[in-house]
């Protein structure tokens, strides 16, 4: 299905870099609340966010006052908290310091009868500053944030469709607030060698559990880490011999040695005649390279892509 400008908006990273960083840090604060209250699920799947019709949601978080859900409404630019006892609280998103957002969020959780206690520093960032000490004013470009949400929604639809073509273990399509990327991960079913760890401000035990088994992972992030544009990625852990030299579609895709993964610029998909087909070709070809070179049992793990109202043929 061909996309439209509204479905695949422009989101040039340099133009909203500071707002993106602020939103990322705000998301970490909310994510750490969910992490502190939710029982551990394999590969940290219990801590992630999901794209909904207006932005990002934690889904239900267990707490003493009843389950609490936190939503980033990225259309009206409000943080909304609701609990299962019917109470709702909210505060506006806008220019503010990380410390100010942190204080507002703690007040929201208290007002909902929740437990406002969680780890107070960012993860996966070098030289992290405690949230309460990060008092510098941060900009908030609401138009850029909404365009980013529209992009996330468009990408999530494609990742969700790609996910349906796999009957092995596969993750939800979810956003990791540590790295701020929307991801989906397929597993071969085989254990992997111990990961070396070393991700900034992230316990090695978390990294090693995340990569306890062989994976082919793909996703999208808005830019950063030396990549000054929004991009799709696909990588394998452990990367099989020859993976970096594999042929991956479309033509704009390339292997980024510094990151150890294939990248596809978002704009090459956005401007394609059929953005969904372009992105699916990247996801499928990068996965196929990883799975074939690593000798996954593809005949057992794969199936036809899912269609609405049509059970998978056996």
Query: Residue 6: what pLDDT?
Result: 59
Query: Residue 165: what pLDDT?
Result: 97
pLDDT in tens, 236-275: 999 999 999 999 999 999 999 999 999 999 999 999 999 9
Mean pLDDT of the chain: 96
**What's the pTM value of the predicted model, to 2 decimals?**
0.96
Q: What are the E-state strand segments in the chain?
A: 50-51, 55-61, 68-73, 78-83, 88-92, 174-176, 181-191, 213-221, 231-237, 254-256, 261-265
Domain ranges of the chain: 13-133, 142-301
Query: Residue 22: what pLDDT?
Result: 98
User: What parts of the chain have a pLDDT lower than 70?
Assistant: 1-6
Q: Which residues contact 97 (CB under 8 A, 6 or more apart)?
A: 134, 135, 136, 137, 138
Query: Residue 65: what pLDDT?
Result: 85
Q: Which residues contact 159 (CB under 8 A, 6 or more apart)?
A: 173, 182, 183, 184, 218, 219, 220, 283
Query: Residue 203: what pLDDT?
Result: 96
């Amino acid at each position: 299905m061909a996309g439209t400008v509204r479905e695949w908006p422009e989101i040039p990273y340099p133009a909203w870099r500071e707002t993106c960083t602020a939103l990322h840090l705000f998301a970490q604060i909310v994510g750490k609340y969910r992490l502190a209250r939710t029982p551990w699920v394999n590969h940290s799947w219990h801590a992630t966010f999901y794209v909904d019709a207006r932005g990002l949601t934690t889904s239900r978080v267990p707490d003493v006052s009843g389950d609490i859900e936190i939503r980033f409404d990225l259309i009206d630019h409000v943080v909304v908290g609701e609990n299962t006892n019917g109470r709702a609280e909210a505060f506006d998103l806008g220019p503010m310091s990380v410390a100010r957002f942190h204080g507002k969020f703690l007040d929201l959780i208290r007002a909902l009868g929740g437990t406002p206690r969680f780890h107070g520093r960012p993860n996966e960032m070098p030289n992290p500053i405690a949230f309460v000490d990060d008092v510098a004013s941060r900009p908030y470009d609401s138009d850029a944030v909404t365009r980013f949400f529209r992009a996330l929604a468009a990408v999530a639809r494609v990742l969700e469709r790609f996910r349906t073509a796999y009957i092995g273990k596969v993750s939800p399509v979810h956003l990791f607030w540590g790295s701020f990327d929307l991801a989906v991960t397929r597993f071969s079913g085989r254990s992997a060698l111990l990961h070396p760890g070393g991700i900034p401000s992230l316990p090695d035990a978390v990294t090693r559990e995340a990569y306890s088994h062989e994976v082919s992972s793909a996703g999208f992030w808005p830019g950063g880490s030396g990549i000054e544009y929004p991009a799709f990625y696909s990588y394998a852990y452990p990367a099989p011999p020859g993976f970096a030299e594999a042929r991956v579609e479309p033509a704009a895709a390339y292997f980024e040695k510094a990151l150890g993964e294939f990248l596809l610029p978002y704009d090459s998909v956005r401007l394609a005649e059929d953005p969904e087909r372009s992105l699916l070709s990247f996801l499928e070809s990068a996965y196929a390279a990883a799975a074939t070179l690593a000798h996954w049992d593809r005949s057992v793990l794969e199936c036809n892509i899912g269609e609405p109202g049509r059970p998978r043929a056996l």
